[in-house]
């Protein structure tokens, strides 16, 4: 990459004035807002506009975003997407900005560090099934360290789009179907990326995306219209954003989708009235890639100039890659359509993040040897992989854990696939770093058992010629470990699918292998919930291993052998069939819950595996929940506890999920809403007390279509496992 050929200072600019004493904006001892006042007073309109643009540098590895070739990157540009994995290119470009531009404003380098930089850990959807936000923070801290030391200051993560349609490829990038779970894991990752101080050389700024309601994409098709009522916007889609803004997320990315007639990127209500005015967010919003320009395709703007006007005045401060701001903002300012106040506010927000990151003081990235794949980082990735995996089925003969097996057949197109274990958006992940299931089994059993491998079939297609060899291996073995699933490219952006069943050829392989009568352990690696209705009968046990990252193979093998007791639970429903979509646990009640009315006439209306489902090798018994009060007032904290005992022979982790239900209210509410969860480690025979401290306004009140929280008098139920406890609010109706 020839940096010098790619960059060009803004026309007419000169290098940083040498004669002047240190200007106020360069003095780190002065409060940030004063430094920005000083800097703004020195900037030309063109320099301000350039701060509001993001281009890229390096070679892109996202096929959806090839973009235009950038021939000349102005040294005054606000931000660059940094595709390179090395600090050198960044430093060369940064030197141009800092040493050769008039004001020396450093560039902010961003990138999609989604589930690891080089040490790739499980996808976000998998992470949510661990119910261990502290571990997710740890993994994100590893990603931040590797990223910052490679020249990235800012990650376009976490994605906290509630997603209830698994046909949508991007379901893999978020934390599942529940708003609260998205909020908790999003906040955990924000804390992991940012720490207490983003000026720390091991931290990066986070970016919440895609603001907002992108997960509601109609029929699971990417980039399309979303139909979202104000009520649903608030009770489902905005909640995780609010939680993550409160956790300190520095930036947000505006979404591609048209929200009921106003695209996310031109939506003054969500971008300004809610985010800035109501929640007081003082960072900035970057558009998604080309999203400003796409306002034209969406019918929101007649041309690029109008697109720039709509997006900028709605509240998008930085234009990612569409050049609409670059080409039109100055003209719009001159015409009085964009106010100088709005311009300064936008630039201030961008500069604020740069100052908080310490870029003015430390613009360059030092070369740190051995920054990737440190042993402790791999351990974190492996732990998260193990905790994310969900044991979906273990039949009555308890196939798992596999003890005393001497002949193991490892079969299937995923068993030796390294790239598929990395999943979509795997940043600078390298397949060579990955342990596959086959390697994991060899490590786990290699000395004590004979292992045979057969591919069987490819992930898709119609070549059945390998099935005979797979059947032969199965017939020889004591047990078959069958690894099926998705190619990593079947998930992520622009990866919608009309069915969530695996291709027929994989089902055919399962049927043939099961025909030998040998016990079959089905291991799945995929980025979305699957329709397993035809596969499930062929498997004695099913482990949902997801796309587990670099240490996935050892985690999978460890669970199969019993070295690791599985503890994951689903953070998203597995439908029985694609036709049931959308199906999610927190739906509103039906008008006819009795006499089996309103159900499908041709198939079950129940999902195959519901939200929260996940088996362990031990057993847990829930005692009776107790509340310290039943009648409460709004300012009370109600403490509810439940004892849980490990009644089996093995140590295990149990996550208790606390739901609430408001049976009658002026705005109808879901049959169940998750409000809290906690995971604990229990030895055999041990009893642990789990506690849910209820803040009535936060946990029991409903939110209306304007964001007000309302607590109405009456009954509230707390649901934990199969137990119900009823609380009573006898006060006045309250709204805040
Ligand atoms: C995606 C974003 C991503 C951006 C930058 C877009 O196409 O929707 O999630 O952060 O590209 O790579």
Going by CA atoms, what residue is nearest to atom 11 of ligand 1? Answer: 289
Neighbours of 440 (CB within 10 A): 27
Distance (Å, whole) CA 73 – CA 3: 9
Average pLDDT, the chain: 95
Distance (Å, whole) CA 50 – CA 90: 18
If one residue of 66, 493, 495 were mutated to test the ligand 1 pocket, choosing by the most ligand atoms within 8 A of its CB, it would be: 493
| Ligand 1 lining (C-beta closer than 6 Å) | 62, 64-65, 112, 156, 209, 288-289, 493
> CB-based contacts of 45: which residues, under 8 Å, 6+ apart?
330, 333, 343
How would DSSP label each residue in 357-374?
A: TTTTT--SPPP-TT-SS-
Going by CA atoms, what residue is nearest to atom 8 of ligand 1? Answer: 288
What is the 145 CA–ligand 1 centroid distance (Å)? 21
Residue 256: predicted pLDDT: 98
> CB-based contacts of 262: which residues, under 8 Å, 6+ apart?
269, 300
Residue 60: predicted pLDDT: 58
Going by CA atoms, what residue is nearest to atom 10 of ligand 1? Answer: 156
Mean pLDDT within 119-126: 98
What is the 264 CA–ligand 1 centroid distance (Å)? 14
Residue 140: predicted pLDDT: 99
Neighbours of 232 (CB within 10 A): 17
What is the percentage of the chain residues whose pLDDT exceeds 70? 96
Which ligand 1 atom minimizes the distance to the CA of 62? 12
Distance (Å, whole) CA 495 – CA 479: 34
pLDDT interval class at 398 (50, 70, 90): confident
If one residue of 252, 288, 290 were mutated to test the ligand 1 pocket, choosing by the most ligand atoms within 8 A of its CB, it would be: 288
Residue 19 has pLDDT above 90, yes or no: no
**237-255 as b/e: b if 16+ CB within 10 A:** bbbbbbbbbebbbbbbbbb
Going by CA atoms, what residue is nearest to atom 2 of ligand 1? Answer: 288
| Contact between residue 690 and residue 634 where contact means Cβ atoms under 8 Å apart | no
Q: Tell me phi and psi for residue 664, to 5 degrees.
A: -145, 125
**Peptide bond preceding 9: is omega within 30 degrees of 0, i.e. cis?**
no
Going by CA atoms, what residue is nearest to atom 12 of ligand 1? Answer: 112
What is the 596 CA–ligand 1 centroid distance (Å)? 44
> CB-based contacts of 369: which residues, under 8 Å, 6+ apart?
none
Distance of CA 261 to CAs 173, 264, 511, Å?
25, 9, 47
Which stretches of 634-683 are assigned E, i.e. beta strand?
638-646, 652-661, 673-682
pLDDT interval class at 397 (50, 70, 90): confident
If one residue of 169, 205, 253, 428 were mutated to test the ligand 1 pocket, choosing by the most ligand atoms within 8 A of its CB, it would be: 253
- Structure-block tokens of residue 427: 């940043």
Which ligand 1 atom minimizes the distance to the CA of 207? 10
Residue 4: predicted pLDDT: 35
Residue 29 has pLDDT above 50, yes or no: yes
One-letter-per-residue 3-state SS of 159-220? ECCCCCCCCCHHHHHCCCCCHHHHHHHHHHHHHHHHCCCCCCCCCCECEEEEECCHHHCHHH
Going by CA atoms, what residue is nearest to atom 7 of ligand 1? Answer: 289
pTM of the predicted protein model: 0.96
Closest CA to 270 of 228, 309, 321, 301: 228
Edge-to-edge strand ranges of the sheet holding 714-720: 631-632, 723-729, 714-720, 652-661, 673-682
If one residue of 57, 62, 168 were mutated to test the ligand 1 pocket, choosing by the most ligand atoms within 8 A of its CB, it would be: 62
Helix (H) or strand (E) holding 126: helix 124-128
Hunting for tokens 């408001």 — which residue is that?
662
What is the 280 CA–ligand 1 centroid distance (Å)? 25
What is the 328 CA–ligand 1 centroid distance (Å)? 23
What is the 209 CA–ligand 1 centroid distance (Å)? 9
Hunting for tokens 């571990």 — which residue is that?
135
Distance (Å, whole) CA 481 – CA 587: 36
Distance (Å, whole) CA 520 – CA 399: 8
Residue 14: predicted pLDDT: 40
Residue 70: predicted pLDDT: 40
Going by CA atoms, what residue is nearest to atom 6 of ligand 1? Answer: 289
What is the 150 CA–ligand 1 centroid distance (Å)? 20
Which of the residue ranges 159-163, 288-292, 442-446, 566-570 would you say has the lowest mean pLDDT?
A: 442-446
Coil, strand or helix at 36: helix
Mean pLDDT within 541-547: 98
pLDDT in tens, 547-562: 999 999 999 999 999 9
pLDDT interval class at 63 (50, 70, 90): low
> CB-based contacts of 541: which residues, under 8 Å, 6+ apart?
391, 393, 394, 395, 399, 400, 519, 520, 521, 522
What is the percentage of the chain residues whose pLDDT exceeds 90? 93
Going by CA atoms, what residue is nearest to atom 4 of ligand 1? Answer: 289
How would DSSP label each residue in 66-78?
A: -----S-EETT-S
pLDDT interval class at 68 (50, 70, 90): very low
**Cα angle 546-552-554, degrees, rounded to a multiple of 5:** 135
Distance (Å, whole) CA 546 – CA 572: 13
Residue 446: predicted pLDDT: 82
Query: Environment class of residue 498 by beta-carbon count within 10 Å: exposed (0-12), middle (13-18) or buried (19+)?
Result: exposed
- Structure-block tokens of residue 571: 């953070």
- Structure-block tokens of residue 605: 């209306």
Active site residues: 288
pLDDT interval class at 714 (50, 70, 90): very high
Helix (H) or strand (E) holding 441: helix 437-445
Q: Which residue has the higher pLDDT, 594 or 531?
A: 531
Residue 103: predicted pLDDT: 98
> CB-based contacts of 423: which residues, under 8 Å, 6+ apart?
115, 120, 122, 123, 172, 488, 491, 492, 527, 546, 547, 549
Which ligand 1 atom minimizes the distance to the CA of 253? 10
Query: Environment class of residue 356 by beta-carbon count within 10 Å: exposed (0-12), middle (13-18) or buried (19+)?
Result: middle
What is the 481 CA–ligand 1 centroid distance (Å)? 36
Distance (Å, whole) CA 190 – CA 193: 5
pLDDT interval class at 11 (50, 70, 90): very low
pLDDT interval class at 1 (50, 70, 90): very low
């Amino acid at each position: 990459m020839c940096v010098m050929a790619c960059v060009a200072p803004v026309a007419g600019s000169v290098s940083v004035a040498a004669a002047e004493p240190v200007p106020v904006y360069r003095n780190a001892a002065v409060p940030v807002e004063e430094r920005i006042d000083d800097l703004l007073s020195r900037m030309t309109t063109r320099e301000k506009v350039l701060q509001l643009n993001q281009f890229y540098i390096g070679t892109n590895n996202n096929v959806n975003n090839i973009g235009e070739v950038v021939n000349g990157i102005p040294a005054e540009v606000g931000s660059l997407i940094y595709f390179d994995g090395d600090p050198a290119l960044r430093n060369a470009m940064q030197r141009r900005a800092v040493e050769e531009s008039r004001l020396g404003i450093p560039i902010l380098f961003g990138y999609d560090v989604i589930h690891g930089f080089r040490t790739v850990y499980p996808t976000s959807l998998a992470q949510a099934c661990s119910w261990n936000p502290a571990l997710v923070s740890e993994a994100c801290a590893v990603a931040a360290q590797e990223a910052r030391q490679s020249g990235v200051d800012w990650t376009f993560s976490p994605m906290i789009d509630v997603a209830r349609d698994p046909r949508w490829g991007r379901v893999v990038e978020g934390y599942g179907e529940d708003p609260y779970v998205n909020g908790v894991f999003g906040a955990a990752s924000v804390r992991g990326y940012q720490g207490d101080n983003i000026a720390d050389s091991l931290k990066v700024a986070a970016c919440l995306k895609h603001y907002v309601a992108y997960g509601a994409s109609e029929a699971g098709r990417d980039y399309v219209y979303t139909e979202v009522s104000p009520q649903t916007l608030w009770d489902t889609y905005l909640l995780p954003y609010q939680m993550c803004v409160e956790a300190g997320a520095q930036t947000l990315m505006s979404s591609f989708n048209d929200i009921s007639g106003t695209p996310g990127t031109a939506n003054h209500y969500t971008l300004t009235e809610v985010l800035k005015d109501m929640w007081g967010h003082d960072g900035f919003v970057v558009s998604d890639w080309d999203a400003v320009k796409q306002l034209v395709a969406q019918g929101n703007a007649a041309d690029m100039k109008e697109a720039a006007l709509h997006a900028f005045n709605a509240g998008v401060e930085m234009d990612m890659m569409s050049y609409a701001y670059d080409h039109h903002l100055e003209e719009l300012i001159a015409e009085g359509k964009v106010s100088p106040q709005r311009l300064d506010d936008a630039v201030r927000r961008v500069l604020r993040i740069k100052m908080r990151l310490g870029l003015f003081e430390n613009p360059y990235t030092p070369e740190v040897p051995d920054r990737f794949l440190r042993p402790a980082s791999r351990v974190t990735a492996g732990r998260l992989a193990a905790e994310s995996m969900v044991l979906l089925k273990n039949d009555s003969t308890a196939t798992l854990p596999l003890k005393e097996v001497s002949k193991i057949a490892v079969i299937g197109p995923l068993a030796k696939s390294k790239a598929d274990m990395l999943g979509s958006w795997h940043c600078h992940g390298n397949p060579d770093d990955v342990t596959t299931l086959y390697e994991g089994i060899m490590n786990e059993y290699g000395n004590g058992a004979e292992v045979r491998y057969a591919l069987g079939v490819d992930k898709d297609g119609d070549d059945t010629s390998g099935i005979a060899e797979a059947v032969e291996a199965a017939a020889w073995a004591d047990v078959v470990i069958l690894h099926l699933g998705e190619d990593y490219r079947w998930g992520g952006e622009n990866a919608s699918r009309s069915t969530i069943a695996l291709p027929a050829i994989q089902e055919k392989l399962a049927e043939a292998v099961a025909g030998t009568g040998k016990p079959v352990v089905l291991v799945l690696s995929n980025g979305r919930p699957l329709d397993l209705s035809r596969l499930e009968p062929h498997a004695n046990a099913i482990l949902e291993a997801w796309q587990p990252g670099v240490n996935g193979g050892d985690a999978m093998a460890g669970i199969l052998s019993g070295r690791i007791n599985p503890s994951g639970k689903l953070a998203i429903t597995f439908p029985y069939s694609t036709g049931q979509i959308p199906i999610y646990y927190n739906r509103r009640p039906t008008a006819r819950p009795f006499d089996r009315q309103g159900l499908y006439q041709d198939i079950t209306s129940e999902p195959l595996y519901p939200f929260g489902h996940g088996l362990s090798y031990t057993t847990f018994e829930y005692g009776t929940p107790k509340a310290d009060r039943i009648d409460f007032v709004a300012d009370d904290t109600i403490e509810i506890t439940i004892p849980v005992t490990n009644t089996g022979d093995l140590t295990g982790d149990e996550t208790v999920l606390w739901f609430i239900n408001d049976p009658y209210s002026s705005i109808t509410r879901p049959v169940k809403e998750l409000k809290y969860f906690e995971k604990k480690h229990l030895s055999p025979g041990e009893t642990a007390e789990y506690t849910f401290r209820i803040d009535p306004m936060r946990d029991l009140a409903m939110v209306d279509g304007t964001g007000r929280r309302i607590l109405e008098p009456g009954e509230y139920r707390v649901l934990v496992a199969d137990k119900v406890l009823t609380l009573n609010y006898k006060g006045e109706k309250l709204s805040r």
